[in-house]
């Protein structure tokens, strides 16, 4: 589920998992395995992946809301995608 949500957020920003893997110098299967392992996935990891995907010219902000169990990805002032982790 986590991979689907991250993939959707990337897609909304015009980025595929394959492109992200290439930019992160990883195999697509390695990135997929990494994204599917939410026990090891940290906010900093996701933030870094988005920064790699978007590039250095964009402001990337991630915040974690423990009450809602969500991660909010915000690019600049207007573009925002919410990623839900854990609870369906």
Name the residue with higher pLDDT: 52 or 81: 52
The two three-digit tokens of residue 38, written as one number: 């939410």
SS3 assignment, position 43: helix
Task: Answer for the pair 12, 50: CB distance below 8 angstroms, yes or no.
Answer: no
Amino acid 18: pLDDT: 81
User: What DSSP character marks residue 32?
Assistant: H
Task: Answer for the pair 88, 79: CB distance below 8 angstroms, yes or no.
Answer: no
Q: In sequence order, what are the beta bridge partners of 46? A: none
Amino acid 1: pLDDT: 47
Confidence band of 11 (pLDDT split at 50, 70, 90): confident
pLDDT of residue 5 exceeding 70, the answer is: no
Q: Where are the domains of the chain?
A: 2-84
The two three-digit tokens of residue 10, written as one number: 């990337």
Confidence band of 42 (pLDDT split at 50, 70, 90): low
């Amino acid at each position: 589920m986590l991979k689907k949500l991250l993939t959707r957020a990337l897609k909304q920003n015009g980025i595929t998992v394959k492109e992200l893997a290439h930019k992160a110098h990883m195999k697509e299967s390695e990135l997929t395995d990494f994204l599917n392992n939410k026990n090891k996935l940290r906010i900093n990891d996701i933030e870094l992946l988005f920064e790699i995907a978007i590039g250095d010219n964009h402001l990337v902000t991630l915040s974690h809301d423990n009450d809602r169990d969500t991660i909010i990805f915000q690019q600049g002032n207007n573009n925002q995608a919410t990623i839900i982790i854990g609870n369906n």
